[in-house]
Structure 1
Amino acid sequence: MTFEISFSGQVQGVGFRPFVFNLAKKHGLKGFVSNNENGVIIQATGCDNLVHQFYQEIILKPPPLALIKDQSIKQIPDFNFDSFKILKSSKSEKLNLPLTPDFAICKDCQSELLDQNNKRFNYPFTTCVNCGPRWSVTKNFPFDRANTTLAEKVMCENCTAEYEAPSNRRFHSQTNTCSDCGFQLCLADTNGEILSTNVSNIFTEIGQVILDGAILALKNTSGFLLCCDARNKEAIQNLRKRKRRPNKPFAILYPSLTLVKEHFKICDEEEQLLGNSVSPVVILSHLKSKNDLLLNHIAPGLKQIGVMLPYTGILKLLSETLQIPLVATSGNIHGSPILSENGVAFGELIGVADFFLVHDLNIFNPQDDSVIKYSSKNKQKIIFRRSRGLAPSYFGFKEKSKKTILALGAHLKSTIAFLPNDHIYVSQYLGNLDHFEVYQRFTKTTSYFLELFEQRPELLLIDAHPAYQSSLFGKELSKKFNSHLIKVQHHIAHFASVLGEHTLFDHDRVLGVVWDGTGFGSDAQIWGGEFFLYENKEIERVGHFEYFNWLAGDKMSLEPRLSLLSLADETMSDLLATKFTNEELKLYHVILKKNQLKTSSVGRLFDAVASLLGICDLNSYVGEAAILLENNIVSLDFDKEEFYPFKKNSKNISPKLIIKSIFKDLQKGISQEKILSKFMFTLAKIIFYMAEKQKVKEIALSGGVFQNASLVDLLIDLKGKEYNLYFNESFSPNDENISFGQMMYALHIEKLGS
């Protein structure tokens, strides 16, 4: 009997075909396995029970990196195959499968790198079916070598033998290379003069320049990193100065989990995350002993540090050579996207790096490192950046759409989402569209998605803000493709992102709490402290923080003192005089009298509290005041659950009353620790007060404010059995989730996919 079996999901680039081949041989089946535009297709001839046993074994014990979304089996006319084969991939229709992300180097490949008797000893591009670059080198699908940037390299005799050997873990490994047929590293100075290409000692040379205090621009397999000795204060300060990054924390590359554990107390979830196939930057909060260098130079003012382990052969060999923590931050200049081309890097980073480690692997889809944190108490996962290892596929989508939909997201922390088939694709983090280079990558990524799937968008979704570059670009595309254009309000998209992640659209009533820094409201004011009710397939704004003055445009998000000025009353005049010059105060008071633009932003409330408490008056990077504020929270005293008044008898919440109450505590000499505890309890109480007022037990929370792990933990602790809380988990709560939220809104609220 002959059966046709199909699998869809993350089944390409994960060793699925060689796994099926060996399993078919084990069960004595004949036929073939192949990649196609939908995933993996199998035709197998054998006894009915053996074929079904084979089918069930694939479902129950797939390859380690595979994620099966759908599967099917059906009997077809008998065919007498002479053996079982892996056939060349075919594509007869448009692409309809998830795209495979990059995978961290596996333990087997790491061992080979360090084994002097292995032919891949010191070969930094060592990969197999279980690891290596995927999305970063993909030009087209199905995932075959010919559709990647590795196509230019022809496998040598030894690699070909591995590729063709069923018992080898490189059996049909599309990224297979070795030092005889693969890619070459090159160490160069800032003039482009080649200093070394010798793989046997190049890492020793690199290690020495780093130990001497130099800054290295290192081309990884997903883009450039800027590296220096994490113990060298002068090198770190040079990097900060050259990159124009005075205070923003750097990520640290540790050589081993053992050394991480010597410096940090980590939980099981953090340990698993550090070493899994994603291998992101993990934000760790529990230093075992005070380390002034880590606290004061790598992460100024913070008690948390982003840590990662080597996830490529290049990083592994560098780490093994030095055996020290290294700063490893995105290879770009301030505001620009991560660089990936050698020539561009030499031009852009000439004043930043002292040396360049480059290679000839072409990176087609550059990606920053993903960044993830677990809350300290309840281990709630919070994604700060979704990129390498996570993008571009999303596996929680179960609906069907008859229309092709493109969502262009927000302006800051931009991403795009595309629905051309049965799957949703959400791009890696792209950046701030104020910067021309980021905008270029944003438009290029959009074009690539359209070309890859050979689809034109029938529906185009944009943010309601009329001046967002993503919205303006969406209007251009809608004219070009004659697409129906839909504007989705920013905070409603945030809310819809959580509803979509947790399949809450089939629930009767859900309260949406969306707190962030800024977003264009339907009344043309700046929203950011919103409460929505999802009911009867509709979303209604049911409350918000009372409006206060939005000052000086984008400058307000850069200067927390302006938020304090906007929320302060006359009793705080002496305090304000310490934060502004007389000329500044006169100018701003004139502006305040004429100002018409208002905001409800909780992000700006955080800024005001940070300024009021003397934590931060001027941000040197986005969200600095809020991050520093969280890091000043010592503990939350549940036995003395105190909070500030927030005008319970009103429909909306008064941020001015909260600020006034905090100022009174300051005048009484109440400690900063106590004030911050009361402030956090106040925010939690506000959420549960609104839930009680709306008679809702289901609460969905999104927006950048919910990157605050202390607030997240507090809410989980206070919810009891009465409430169910839902947070973004597959996406960041910040504006990266807007494109996905726009898509969810279109499909479930507007019902535009039918």
Structure 2
Amino acid sequence: MAKTYKIIVSGQVQGVGFRPYVYSLAKDFSLTGTVSNNEHGVIIYVTGAPKNAEGFYDNLIKNPPPVSKIISSAIEEVPIQNFNRFQIIPSSKEGQVNLPLTPDFAICDDCKKDIADVKNRRYNYAFTTCVNCGPRWSITKTFPFERAHTSIADFPMCESCNNEYTNPANRRFHSQTNTCPECGISFEFTDNRGNIFKAENIFKTIAKQLSEGKIIAIKNTSGYLLCCNAEDDGVVKKLRTLKNRPNKPFAVLYPSLELLQNEACLNAKAIDVLTSTERPITIISLSNYKGHIALQEVAPGLNQLGVMLPYTGILQLLANQLDVPIVATSGNIHGSPILSHKKDVEVKLKSVADYFLHHNLEITHPQDDSVLKISDKYNFECLFRRSRGYAPNYLNVEVQSNDKILALGADLKNSIAFFPNQHLYVGQYLGNLENFDVYNRFVEEIKAFINIFEQKPEVILVDKHPNYQSTQYGLELSKKWNTKLYFIQHHKAHLAAVLGEYGLFKDDNVLGVVWDGTGYGDDGAIWGGEFFKYNAGEMERLAHFEYFDWISGDKMSKEPRLSLFSLADESFHDLLNSKFSREELNVLTAIKSKNKLKTSSVGRLFDAVSSVLKICDFNSFEGEAAMLLENRIIDYNIGRCVNYCKGFSGKTIPTLLILKGVQSDIKNGLETAQIATNFLFTLASIIYKVAENSGSSKICLSGGVFQNTTLIDMLIELNDNRYKLYFNRNLTPNDENMAFGQMMYYLNCENRTHLQ
């Protein structure tokens, strides 16, 4: 006897080809009924033999579409309904959105074949997509994910596209981003004076211009990219000057995996990441590099390179015309957010780009490319930037709260988090809120989240630093909406981010290690070298690096030599004289004698060591000194390492002692690479010494210092299965995880500071 069942599936199930898949599967099991999107996910009604319905449900949950991610599902018998057939019906929305949003997906192999096939009607059509690939979050206006709720709605489907859209046998069946050359998005190619150029194959023209040393701003599906020939040192140098980015490495787009493999060594893990649906920039080693990239201009002083493969039809069609790798960096002036509007680009990049490739698809959520690095020894995947392909979902944590919560993160490397329903959303990387345009983007994203979910927060979470832009905006919103406001200490939020990723909040005696550049401490000092003991909701500061003077405000993070000056004693006299003028030393000595602000920052210790080793005295980008320091280590032998802090046994780590160990090895003529290795070995050894003293068996590690993958490898190697190590894995260890950490701390920890 036939029965009717109602099935609800929640998770990343909209914009991923879920309904067409359900349609085909229902046909296979001889079921009639309907499938549609709603504010909770996908709702299915099936009528048929109970055995068939159970088989259908089991297959659906165990083998969903490739880019979907099911969080929960339920099936229940309901009163019998008679359906003539199985069909996809229009989405209904009876309440507020309560489902994960959908990130952008890299172009799939089938669509790549379509645009390369001369006989295919989408030959050379850059916006070719299907249910398995294409832009999602970058074009979303509201949810559920339907064409009418995206900017693609500006392009009504032609008859051919509509036939595909309604044909169950077609892979574009119910593909919401379906367009073609007849009805779709169009390009405009101009020079920087606004002159429009026509070409039979625009990408062939662009490839020619790139080969001739031109800089081209290309509008991709998530924002503009500035591109030039990566093998032409002159044009790369020019781009650096015009973009105001003197040393920070550029990302390089390789036309194909084959070319990349011919020029660089890739392991299986790197290939998996480079070809994934997220398709991030992946940082690889340059050992045994055989290519012709202008490395000193593309990645100054580094033995690593950020590479990526084409992830949209636009980049794939360009790649088809290229035989060399190209620089593909965010379309902006250094420090500003990625640009996505034609008018903005023509004004702000007029003096940077020689040519512009525009298109008329509106980008509603501009996103930088995500960045990931794989450690050399143990293949640990460390996210450096979480943006396109990953945001705005966070599917790996279950949140229990009746509050609607907005977390505003920190100022540097800002991202936001929102919990308006039963799901947690962690937005894309936004940047440094000290930049006016980044701050405006931050405000716009908050408004977008509130509009999509039709919910205002009842609780707002901010960093404890009173002068952060994010904190100030939280105060403003709290007064405007009359909501509760909580201050969460910076480093406790970092620790909570790791505890949240692994679901460790009910555990006892967990050691938290949080090392970064700066964060406002509970005692008014600038923390950054912290150890915490976590016991089921309580965080206690257990140990920290010995305080030293925080001088010259934000300038200290920009000049590693200032960290050296702050830490140095008389034995560094000659070195300081070589780095500062007599007038500078007099001023700094006077400042230091009156200074009351102290820091425990390991980030600044990295700066001081980098300065002592004459690697870097001035940072042109955040973390440059630390990156260059790690870069000196090509390989290491753990058996040859020396611990500069071997006698440490108390609660305060002797910071100066570590620096003097470095100084001693320099005087003894030890090579810089081995000294840098000894420094990282010392830091790793300190962690295990504190763990031993605390009796903890679990160690959670977060903060920007843990972007150092050599340090991560050392920790894994030294561990020898004595402790369970927990690093950020689905989030970055840097301040991008701050909003998520604030959310986790609020939901799971005590002693929150509430502003009445």
TM-score bracket for this pair, using the shorter chain length: over 0.9
In the alignment, the residues of structure 1 paired with residue 408 and residue 170 of structure 2 have an alpha-carbon distance, to the nearest angstrom, of: 43
In the alignment, the residues of structure 2 paired with residue 132 and residue 501 of structure 1 have an alpha-carbon distance, to the nearest angstrom, of: 28
In structure 1, the residue corresponding to 2:300 is in which secondary structure?
coil
Q: Deviations over 1:165-194 (max 9, x none)?
A: 001000000000000000011110112221
In structure 1, the residue corresponding to 2:640 is in which secondary structure?
coil
* Number of corresponding residues: 750
- One-letter amino acid matched to 1:620: S
Match of 1:549 in 2: 549
Match of 2:189 in 1: 187
Q: Cα offset for 1:751? A: 9.7
Q: Cα offset for 1:528? A: 0.3
- 1:393-472 alignment runs, 5 A limit: 393-472=393-472
Match of 1:94 in 2: 96
Query: Is the CA contact (8 Å cut-off) linking 2:528 and 2:600 kept in structure 1?
Result: yes
1:211 pairs with 2:211: yes
Q: Cα offset for 1:456? A: 1.2
- One-letter amino acid matched to 1:605: L
Q: Cα offset for 1:564? A: 0.6
Q: Cα offset for 1:362? A: 0.3
Match of 1:69 in 2: 71
In the alignment, the residues of structure 1 paired with residue 179 and residue 128 of structure 2 have an alpha-carbon distance, to the nearest angstrom, of: 7
In the alignment, the residues of structure 2 paired with residue 111 and residue 412 of structure 1 have an alpha-carbon distance, to the nearest angstrom, of: 41
1:529 pairs with 2:532: no
Within the candidate set 175, 190, 214, 2:177 is matched to: 175
Q: Deviations over 1:450-470 (max 9, x none)?
A: 111011111110000000000
Match of 1:574 in 2: 574
Greater displacement, 618-627 / 667-676: 667-676
Match of 2:749 in 1: 749
In the alignment, the residues of structure 1 paired with residue 57 and residue 475 of structure 2 have an alpha-carbon distance, to the nearest angstrom, of: 48
In structure 2, the residue corresponding to 1:726 is in which secondary structure?
strand
In the alignment, the residues of structure 2 paired with residue 272 and residue 369 of structure 1 have an alpha-carbon distance, to the nearest angstrom, of: 17
Match of 1:49 in 2: 51
- One-letter amino acid matched to 2:555: K
In the alignment, the residues of structure 1 paired with residue 289 and residue 454 of structure 2 have an alpha-carbon distance, to the nearest angstrom, of: 55
Match of 1:240 in 2: 240
- One-letter amino acid matched to 1:110: K
Q: Cα offset for 1:655? A: 1.0
What TM-score results when the alignment is normalised by the length of structure 1?
Answer: 0.98
In the alignment, the residues of structure 2 paired with residue 249 and residue 335 of structure 1 have an alpha-carbon distance, to the nearest angstrom, of: 14
In the alignment, the residues of structure 2 paired with residue 750 and residue 222 of structure 1 have an alpha-carbon distance, to the nearest angstrom, of: 40
- One-letter amino acid matched to 1:352: V
Greater displacement, 267-276 / 362-371: 267-276
Q: Deviations over 1:625-657 (max 9, x none)?
A: 000000001332222342102651432101111
- One-letter amino acid matched to 2:630: E
Query: Is the CA contact (8 Å cut-off) linking 1:140 and 1:148 kept in structure 2?
Result: yes
Match of 2:149 in 1: 147
Q: Cα offset for 1:290? A: 6.1
- One-letter amino acid matched to 2:621: Y
Q: Cα offset for 1:104? A: 0.3
Query: Is the CA contact (8 Å cut-off) linking 1:332 and 1:348 kept in structure 2?
Result: yes
- 1:360-399 alignment runs, 5 A limit: 360-399=360-399
In the alignment, the residues of structure 1 paired with residue 157 and residue 186 of structure 2 have an alpha-carbon distance, to the nearest angstrom, of: 14
What TM-score results when the alignment is normalised by the length of structure 2?
Answer: 0.98
Query: Is the CA contact (8 Å cut-off) linking 2:407 and 2:460 kept in structure 1?
Result: yes
Query: Is the CA contact (8 Å cut-off) linking 1:647 and 1:653 kept in structure 2?
Result: no
Match of 2:33 in 1: 31
In the alignment, the residues of structure 1 paired with residue 297 and residue 673 of structure 2 have an alpha-carbon distance, to the nearest angstrom, of: 24
Q: Cα offset for 1:326? A: 0.4
Q: Cα offset for 1:294? A: 4.1
Match of 1:122 in 2: 124
Q: Cα offset for 1:288? A: 2.2
Q: Deviations over 1:403-426 (max 9, x none)?
A: 101000000000100001111000
Query: In the superposition, relative to structure 1, how do residues 16 and 292 fare at CA in structure 2: closer, same or farther (>3 Å)?
Result: closer
Q: Deviations over 1:385-412 (max 9, x none)?
A: 0000000000112132111010000000
In the alignment, the residues of structure 2 paired with residue 583 and residue 112 of structure 1 have an alpha-carbon distance, to the nearest angstrom, of: 67
In the alignment, the residues of structure 2 paired with residue 169 and residue 567 of structure 1 have an alpha-carbon distance, to the nearest angstrom, of: 63
In the alignment, the residues of structure 2 paired with residue 689 and residue 290 of structure 1 have an alpha-carbon distance, to the nearest angstrom, of: 42
Match of 1:343 in 2: 343
In structure 1, the residue corresponding to 2:506 is in which secondary structure?
coil
1:615 pairs with 2:615: yes
1:586 pairs with 2:586: yes
- One-letter amino acid matched to 2:9: F
Match of 1:473 in 2: 473
- 1:479-494 alignment runs, 5 A limit: 479-494=479-494
Q: Cα offset for 1:667? A: 1.3
Query: Is the CA contact (8 Å cut-off) linking 2:645 and 2:686 kept in structure 1?
Result: no
Query: Is the CA contact (8 Å cut-off) linking 2:461 and 2:487 kept in structure 1?
Result: yes
Q: Cα offset for 1:297? A: 1.2
Query: Is the CA contact (8 Å cut-off) linking 1:383 and 1:730 kept in structure 2?
Result: yes
Q: Cα offset for 1:335? A: 1.4
In the alignment, the residues of structure 1 paired with residue 411 and residue 64 of structure 2 have an alpha-carbon distance, to the nearest angstrom, of: 40
- One-letter amino acid matched to 2:22: V
Q: Deviations over 1:491-544 (max 9, x none)?
A: 000000000001111212210000000000111110000000101320111110
In the alignment, the residues of structure 1 paired with residue 195 and residue 566 of structure 2 have an alpha-carbon distance, to the nearest angstrom, of: 55
Query: Is the CA contact (8 Å cut-off) linking 2:262 and 2:290 kept in structure 1?
Result: no
Match of 1:504 in 2: 504
Match of 1:3 in 2: 5
In the alignment, the residues of structure 2 paired with residue 687 and residue 645 of structure 1 have an alpha-carbon distance, to the nearest angstrom, of: 11
In structure 1, the residue corresponding to 2:320 is in which secondary structure?
helix
Query: Is the CA contact (8 Å cut-off) linking 2:702 and 2:734 kept in structure 1?
Result: yes
- One-letter amino acid matched to 1:564: L
Greater displacement, 667-676 / 419-428: 667-676
Greater displacement, 595-604 / 661-670: 661-670
Q: Deviations over 1:356-379 (max 9, x none)?
A: 000000000000000001111111
Within the candidate set 77, 81, 106, 1:79 is matched to: 81
Q: Deviations over 1:317-355 (max 9, x none)?
A: 111112210000000012110000011110110111010
In the alignment, the residues of structure 1 paired with residue 146 and residue 643 of structure 2 have an alpha-carbon distance, to the nearest angstrom, of: 59
In structure 1, the residue corresponding to 2:527 is in which secondary structure?
coil
In the alignment, the residues of structure 2 paired with residue 468 and residue 537 of structure 1 have an alpha-carbon distance, to the nearest angstrom, of: 26
Q: Cα offset for 1:292? A: 7.3
- One-letter amino acid matched to 1:712: I
- One-letter amino acid matched to 1:398: E
Match of 2:280 in 1: 280
Deviating above 3 A after TM superposition, structure 1's stretches of 4 or more consecutive aligned residues are 289-294
Match of 2:228 in 1: 228
Greater displacement, 422-431 / 184-193: 184-193
Query: Is the CA contact (8 Å cut-off) linking 2:462 and 2:486 kept in structure 1?
Result: yes
Query: Is the CA contact (8 Å cut-off) linking 2:286 and 2:305 kept in structure 1?
Result: no
Query: In the superposition, relative to structure 1, how do residues 124 and 287 fare at CA in structure 2: closer, same or farther (>3 Å)?
Result: farther
In the alignment, the residues of structure 1 paired with residue 539 and residue 656 of structure 2 have an alpha-carbon distance, to the nearest angstrom, of: 28
In the alignment, the residues of structure 2 paired with residue 558 and residue 641 of structure 1 have an alpha-carbon distance, to the nearest angstrom, of: 30
Query: In the superposition, relative to structure 1, how do residues 646 and 454 fare at CA in structure 2: closer, same or farther (>3 Å)?
Result: farther
In the alignment, the residues of structure 1 paired with residue 68 and residue 645 of structure 2 have an alpha-carbon distance, to the nearest angstrom, of: 52
In the alignment, the residues of structure 1 paired with residue 319 and residue 92 of structure 2 have an alpha-carbon distance, to the nearest angstrom, of: 41
In the alignment, the residues of structure 2 paired with residue 204 and residue 53 of structure 1 have an alpha-carbon distance, to the nearest angstrom, of: 51
In the alignment, the residues of structure 1 paired with residue 107 and residue 283 of structure 2 have an alpha-carbon distance, to the nearest angstrom, of: 21
Query: In the superposition, relative to structure 1, how do residues 18 and 369 fare at CA in structure 2: closer, same or farther (>3 Å)?
Result: same
- One-letter amino acid matched to 2:256: S
- One-letter amino acid matched to 2:98: N
Q: Cα offset for 1:293? A: 4.2
Q: Cα offset for 1:295? A: 2.8
In the alignment, the residues of structure 2 paired with residue 62 and residue 452 of structure 1 have an alpha-carbon distance, to the nearest angstrom, of: 26
Match of 2:665 in 1: 665
- One-letter amino acid matched to 1:437: D
Query: In the superposition, relative to structure 1, how do residues 35 and 2 fare at CA in structure 2: closer, same or farther (>3 Å)?
Result: same
Q: Percent identity?
A: 54
